[in-house]
Chains A and B, each alone.
Chain A
């Protein structure tokens, strides 16, 4: 039976949320879906624009491509196998042991996020390269190649896995541990039957994120990979080096597949994870236990030292005249290598991009999430479409997005062609690239609010927009600030999408490192990396202070929350 569609009279203000959501859908379609489609279409067209699968045939026949694909896969697998256990134990130490200075360990564990992925590559060259002090540790193997790639990628991917696992281990049902103890389970059995199963989804998620990260990372193999061919670098060589967009599109597609696949699995796995923690659960509180805490403390100390040595080496490199022969401390790399050489503008560009990304990205992300979560009465398909598009960027490597942008916006037929090479398109690409985690943060915050706030406002004849301003936004302020910080720092450190989009005037800092390294200027490259790290650290500090002050001064009500 077909039911009569409800005919609802709506005033302009009632219709506004639907219109706004449509706007968000159009923006996401334009700046995410269409560029990806352009990539797909570009791969099945020959040079004259006719449909052809010739490029795939040609690609398959290209010598070395199969090797590159195989290398990409096994390196990613190896990186995953090393990173996830390392991060799991570290997260376990932070969450489930009684360590002194827990906050510090966590901070150091996440420190790699402050800089571009190239920091690790530069530091490992200095430590283990031709002139490296620890060269002997590699026992004759060269760091320029898979060894260096794996080390640097593990370093760069570690905090991404750590973030997920810290959350996965943050909540546990203390009653299960008490039950295990009461039943006389051994320490190992308790770990195997209680701790591991509870963290299972976090582990799978972390593994997939690390795998995807490694597959799509190209700055690291570019800098430290030597002649070791991987797909990500192949894309860069084809597109930037040889201007072969069609070939680039094929390789990008090849990159997109495993990553999309990984995130599809992750989405599916996450959906199955429900109600692992019920409302009756009692939070687990670890008690001091020397036999467990001491080894874990040593482990944290070891890893933190290693991470500190990586970051420290990159900074040190920027301050010494010529590693390792002339260790005189100097600001020459900053003064002559960056400022005098005119490369410092890149840092300013990045600041601009990061500030604009945070400034426009945060309201866009939050408002879209709000429209999705807190406004009713729109075509349900529109909501589903926006949700899907908001989840998509997580599965799209920046590299792939960047090529999509070239193919889409650089096309002379596109009316938006004028955006190409501008700062605007770089900001847009960055917002889109990092959209999903921000979206999830906003959705989680919005979902935690009482379902009926809008209904109550409506009954009191108060517009939902007033309620957004007076209630929703203040309550979600911590999430909003977190989104802004996340966007800023990632915009500051990202290479992958922007490397295809910049012009000589809009060169961003992280890409400048790549170019400096290519020119053999490791000192100035390290100096630029240091500048980025310091900027990110400063912003994080400002963020912490701001959150602290803002919440204390204007949100007194939070102190009473239970």
Chain B
């Protein structure tokens, strides 16, 4: 059995369905990320696991114990909120020791534990400071230390990085992930930032309208989105509709495309092509899956350029291609230019039929 097992969890607020029969199994030591746009139910799910929201139906089993109806205090987890919720009137030491036994003979142990935790989050010696004296990133680390001080079996992170600036966010996400790997604590994090999810997660749960859209490792979620929503939400992409002309061939306008994957039976096929999967070829290259594209717009973004193109596809919708600067080797792309493009067969993943 999974370490944390969520079965048929549902929650409504009046007419609004926040959670719709959620089924989820989390393994021990796993870093799981709940990803989705705001209002998708990810935070409600986290708060239900924490006992801060009570589900209408369904069960939550944690380490073999049914915790579905237990109040928060009787569950076993530590939590870090977006706002950190550090107690402003208590010193860093008192904040971290808040959940530790403060009886007289335990006090020395608590002190030691605080020291240990501060060491762990890279802020040794800050015991006497108050939260207001620390930067946002430091406050976040203290909140993490406080949540981990009681050695909980489960760590819940509610958008822990969204209040930080971009640089601090990237640094801290690496630190949190490293810490989690070291401690091996089962962790569930909520975020709406796909890059954060891809960078940190063992597995990502993509949610929308109270339902799980897809569960998978970051690579699979990105490479093989299970449906239109996931494809759209994670990264940029081009939707290509084509007519199936064989088990491995489809036609879209003037383009004849071979696909590595076998196409399901049916007249039309839909492909989701990532911008970085569009290749640049020599103008006279006649290899498979190559075609001409007319440059409409080119945005230079530093490490890469985004190029909007028009090709003779079935619906004629512009395609967006992404070329990294080292791939282009200084070659300049100007609007109006004609390019020979190609999509490797293995990158043409058929999408399931739109619901």
The answer to whether A and B interact is yes
List, in ascending order, chain A residues with CB within 8 A of B275's CB. none
The B contact surface, by secondary structure, is loop
Q: Which bracket fits the contact residues of B? A: 35 or more
Q: Is A50 an interface residue (CB 8 A)?
A: no
Which B30-69 residues have a C-beta within 8 angstroms of A? 50-52, 54-57, 69
CA A163 to CA B264, docked complex, whole Å = 74
List, in ascending order, chain B residues with CB within 8 A of A460's CB. 78, 98-99, 146, 150
Q: Is A459 an interface residue (CB 8 A)?
A: yes
> Do A462 and B79 contact each other (CB < 8 Å), given the known contacts A452-B85, A475-B89?
no
Q: Is B162 an interface residue (CB 8 A)?
A: no
Asked whether, in the complex, the Cβ of B83 is within 8 Å of the Cβ of A450, the reply is yes
Q: Which residue of B lies closest to A560 (CB)?
A: B132
Number of interface residues of A (CB under 8 A): 33
Asked whether, in the complex, the Cβ of B130 is within 8 Å of the Cβ of A4, the reply is no
Choose from B79, B87, B89 the contact partner of A459 (Cβ within 8 Å). B79
Q: Is B226 an interface residue (CB 8 A)?
A: no
Choose from B70, B85, B132 the contact partner of A455 (Cβ within 8 Å). B85
CA A470 to CA B95, docked complex, whole Å = 11
> Do A456 and B79 contact each other (CB < 8 Å), given the known contacts A6-B56, A557-B88?
yes
List, in ascending order, chain A residues with CB within 8 A of B99's CB. 459-462
Q: Is A453 an interface residue (CB 8 A)?
A: yes
CA A475 to CA B87, docked complex, whole Å = 9
Asked whether, in the complex, the Cβ of B85 is within 8 Å of the Cβ of A450, the reply is yes
Which B272-288 residues have a C-beta within 8 angstroms of A? none
Asked whether, in the complex, the Cβ of A455 is within 8 Å of the Cβ of B72, the reply is yes
Choose from B56, B72, B146 the contact partner of A458 (Cβ within 8 Å). B72
CA A7 to CA B54, docked complex, whole Å = 9
Q: Is B317 an interface residue (CB 8 A)?
A: no
Q: Which residue of A lies closest to B47 (CB)?
A: A455
Asked whether, in the complex, the Cβ of A452 is within 8 Å of the Cβ of B146, the reply is no
Residue among A4, A377, A456, A457 with the most chain B CB within 10 A? A456
Q: Which residue of B lies closest to A6 (CB)?
A: B54
> Do A455 and B50 contact each other (CB < 8 Å), given the known contacts A470-B90, A556-B130?
yes
Interface with B: A9-17, A53-61, A515-523, which one?
A9-17
> Do A3 and B57 contact each other (CB < 8 Å), given the known contacts A455-B72, A561-B88?
yes
List, in ascending order, chain B residues with CB within 8 A of A451's CB. 83, 85
Asked whether, in the complex, the Cβ of A560 is within 8 Å of the Cβ of B130, the reply is yes
List, in ascending order, chain B residues with CB within 8 A of A462's CB. 73, 98-99
Choose from B69, B85, B152 the contact partner of A9 (Cβ within 8 Å). B69
List, in ascending order, chain B residues with CB within 8 A of A452's CB. 81, 83, 85
Q: Is A474 an interface residue (CB 8 A)?
A: yes
Choose from A463, A474, A555, A560 the contact partner of B133 (Cβ within 8 Å). A560
Choose from A8, A455, A461, A556 the contact partner of B52 (Cβ within 8 Å). A455
CA A457 to CA B156, docked complex, whole Å = 14
In the assembled complex, the CB of A517 is this many whole angstroms from the nearest CB of chain B, namely 49
Choose from A14, A450, A456, A475 the contact partner of B71 (Cβ within 8 Å). A14
Q: Is A471 an interface residue (CB 8 A)?
A: yes
Cβ contacts A426-454/B at 8 Å (1 or 0 each)? 00000000000000000000000011110
Cβ contacts A547-562/B at 8 Å (1 or 0 each)? 0000000011100111
In the assembled complex, the CB of B153 is this many whole angstroms from the nearest CB of chain A, namely 12
List, in ascending order, chain B residues with CB within 8 A of A4's CB. 56-57
Q: Is B12 an interface residue (CB 8 A)?
A: yes
CA A555 to CA B130, docked complex, whole Å = 11
Asked whether, in the complex, the Cβ of B130 is within 8 Å of the Cβ of A557, the reply is yes
Choose from B54, B81, B89, B147 the contact partner of A557 (Cβ within 8 Å). B89
List, in ascending order, chain A residues with CB within 8 A of B72's CB. 455, 458-459
CA A462 to CA B85, docked complex, whole Å = 15
Asked whether, in the complex, the Cβ of A453 is within 8 Å of the Cβ of B85, the reply is yes
A-B contact pairs, 6 of them (CB 8 A): A455-B50, A455-B52, A462-B73, A470-B87, A475-B89, A557-B88
List the 8 shortest-distance A-B pairs measured between CB atoms, nearest first: A460-B99, A458-B72, A560-B132, A452-B85, A557-B130, A6-B54, A450-B85, A452-B81
Apart from A8-B54, A455-B81, A555-B89, what 15 extra A-B contacts exist at CB < 8 Å? A3-B12, A9-B71, A451-B83, A452-B83, A453-B87, A456-B79, A459-B75, A460-B99, A461-B73, A470-B87, A474-B89, A557-B130, A557-B131, A560-B133, A561-B132
